Amino acid sequence: AQSVTQPDIHITVSEGASLELRCNYSYGATPYLFWYVQSPGQGLQLLLKYFSGDTLVQGIKGFEAEFKRSQSSFNLRKPSVHWSDAAEYFCAVVLDSNYQLIWGAGTKLIIKP
């Protein structure tokens, strides 16, 4: 069955430091991959998505992600985090059979001043 794994429940980084959030998927065909962010008390916002083409995709708020088929990964990165990036981040894959999203459990990002 298709699944998405985010191995880190929490990650703490200092403000200004770089960030990488891990996402691994299990899916037989070419996946359509997404990263969403959920700030406290708010809904989910799409950061970026990968469908095909260039494996390095740029998103909003200075985030990028790289699709690596050989590693079944779609890790999210940001070169320098800001305190406002503190939130929960979700990786998801869409099933092209019914266009439904399969979600990871999320990674909570904590920013140290």
Partner 1 sequence: EAEVAQSPRYKITEKSQAVAFWCDPISGHATLYWYRQILGQGPELLVQFQDESVVDDSQLPKDRFSAERLKGVDSTLKIQPAELGDSAMYLCASSLVADTTYEQYFGPGTRLTVT
List interacting residues with partner 1 (CB under 8 A): 4, 9, 32, 36, 41-46, 49, 51, 90, 92, 94, 96, 98-101, 103-106
Shorter beta-carbon distance to partner 1: residue 92 or 111:
92
Shorter beta-carbon distance to partner 1: residue 40 or 113:
40
What is the SS3 assignment for 60?
Answer: helix
**Shortest Cβ 74–partner 1 spacing (Å):** 15
Angstrom distance (rounded) from CA 38 to CA 71: 26
* Contact assessment for residue 101 and residue 94, using Cβ atoms and an 8 Å cutoff: yes
Locus of tokens 């079944």: 72
**Shortest Cβ 63–partner 1 spacing (Å):** 15
What's the token pair of residue 52? 């095909």
Shorter beta-carbon distance to partner 1: residue 4 or 65:
4
What's the token pair of residue 111? 């920013």
